With several copies, the nearest count.
Chain A
Amino acid sequence: MSEDMEEGGTVKKFMYMNRKAPYGTIYALEALEVVLIGAAFDQDVSLAFIDDGVFQLTKDQNTDDIGIKNFSPAFRALGDYDVTKLYVEKESLAERGLTQDDLMDLVWEDEDDDWAEKPSIIMVSRDEMKKVLGDQDVIMSF
Chain B
Amino acid sequence: MSILHTVNKSPFQKNDFSSCLSHANAGDAVLLIEDGVYGAVSGTEAAKQISSAEASVYVLGGDLAARGIASDKIADGITVVGYDGFVDLAAEHQAVNSWL
Contact = CB atoms under 8 A, between A and B. Distances in A.
Contact of A58 (B2, B35, B42, B68): B68
Given A21-B67, A60-B68, A135-B1, A51 B97 contact: no
B77 interface: no
Given A95-B45, A141-B100, A134 B66 contact: no
Interface string A7-31: 0000000000101111111010000
Contacts, number: 118
Contact of A139 (B10, B13, B19, B97): B97
Contact of B23 (A22, A61, A129): A129
A98 to B, nearest CB: 8
B13 A23 contact: no
A107 B62 CA distance: 29
Contacts of B12: 51-52, 95-96
Interface stretch (A37-45, A62-70, A108-116): A62-70
Interface in A103-142: 126, 129-131, 133-139, 141-142
A126 B20 CA distance: 11
20 contacts: A19-B13, A22-B66, A23-B63, A24-B34, A25-B35, A60-B70, A62-B65, A62-B68, A63-B65, A64-B65, A65-B82, A66-B62, A97-B42, A97-B73, A126-B23, A130-B24, A134-B3, A135-B1, A141-B99, A141-B100
Interface of A: 17, 19-25, 27, 50-52, 55, 58-66, 68, 70, 72, 95-98, 102, 126, 129-131, 133-139, 141-142
